[in-house]
Amino acid sequence: MTRTKVALVGIGKIALDQHVPALKASPDWELAATISRSGKVDGIPAYTDFATFLAECRDVPVVSLCMPPVPRYAYAEAALLSGRHVMLEKPPGATLAEVHSLEGLAKANGLTLYATWHSRMAHAVAPAKAWLADKIVQKAHITWREDVRKWHPGQDWVFQPGGMGVFDPGINALSILTEILPRPIHLTRATLEFPANRQTPIAAGLIFSGNVTADFDWRQEGPQTWDIEVTTDEGQLALRMGGNVLEIDGKPVAGENTIMGEYSALYARMADLVRSRTSDVDLSPMVHVADALTLGERITTDAFDF
Ligand code: NAP
């Protein structure tokens, strides 16, 4: 099978940890170029300027954008305007409006736009969705507590406007929740803790309709927690390890305790979307984040430094 050429843009933590290994193992893709001001991948042609890449590499039809959300729109727009299909890391942009605009541009030009949610590809998300489909959800709670120093070492952008703070990981939980719940929910109240020296929250408590709550915290050292617990009329579901392990009534029934596999699944999906020239842009996780930042009560907490 011929492999489709793809360029990776923004060679940082997630590109090196996940995108490069997933592409190297994929039967669908050939990593043909990187575009990054300082990052590189051994053996792959490297560009530092996106416009130069777009002009010189007409034979690369797909770009995958791995930089933080705020600068991403300009790259996505330029790529679509030059006839390239585009894959977006999560969260898909800095604002909802800019992603709607990209979706329109892709459609108008017959191109694929894929707003990825890697956590939706976790091993136990599909079985959890199937199990919940015919149940009545009585309540649900998300606990998403991790150490920002471990997962975003020195990345000041997460605390700058548009970086989303603790919603950068929290949106992964919301991407799973919006995928598995049989009915939509909406935010009714939120409490956001902003470090005194930062522009985005380090912790958040969320209350949704339907008796759904969430606790996001970026200050957890030691064991990390990425759990979603759902009480239904027919028993208790728990998704653990970021959606990778499914328990029903306390017993593991599906999944695998590893996050490896999520990015391979994203690239397989992108290959299907490009073949069919369709897009996949679901902004429901980001709507909840935007609502929390609109409605949330702001509390100032201790200053935070890496
Ligand atoms: P990162 O390492 O800080 O950034 C990735 C690369 O983007 C940087 O190395 C930089 O490359 C480029 N970049 C940064 N600012 C830029 C700007 N203003 N304009 C153009 N390029 C810029 O961040 P990351 O952890 O990889 O996260 C990137 C995205 O992946 C985020 O949306 C994040 O939510 C998502 N993600 C991260 C993780 C994780 O564990 N860290 C997991 C899943 C998803 P150059 O300086 O070489 O240009």
Tokens of 70: 């705020």
**Structural domain contains residue 275:** no
Residues 19 and 110 occupy one common structural domain: yes
Q: Which of 65, 97, 115 is the last residue in one of the domains?
A: 115
User: Which of 40, 41, 66 gets mutated to test ligand 1 (max ligand atoms within 8 A of its CB)?
Assistant: 66
Is 135 an annotated catalytic residue? no
* The pLDDT of residue 281: 98
Domain that holds residue 170: 119-261+290-301
Query: What's the CATH code of the domain at 217?
Result: 3.30.360.10
* The pLDDT of residue 257: 80
The mean pLDDT of the chain is 97
The predicted-structure confidence for 242-287, as pLDDT tens digits, reads as follows 999 999 999 999 888 877 789 999 999 999 999 999 999 999 999 9
Does 168 contact ligand 1 (Cβ within 6 A)?
yes
Low-confidence ranges of the chain (pLDDT < 50): none
Name the percent of the chain in helix, strand, coil, to the closest 5: 35, 30, 35
**Structural domain contains residue 272:** no
Q: From the CB of residue 124, how many other CB atoms can be counted at a distance below 10 Å?
A: 27
User: Which of 11, 14, 158 gets mutated to test ligand 1 (max ligand atoms within 8 A of its CB)?
Assistant: 14
This prediction has a pTM of 0.97
Spacing, Cα 244 to ligand 1 middle (Å): 24
Residues 215 and 255 occupy one common structural domain: yes
Residue nearest ligand 1's atom 2 by CA? 12
DSSP state string for 131-153? HHTTS-EEEEEEEEE-BHHHHST
Round to whole Å and give the CA distance between 19 and 66.
9
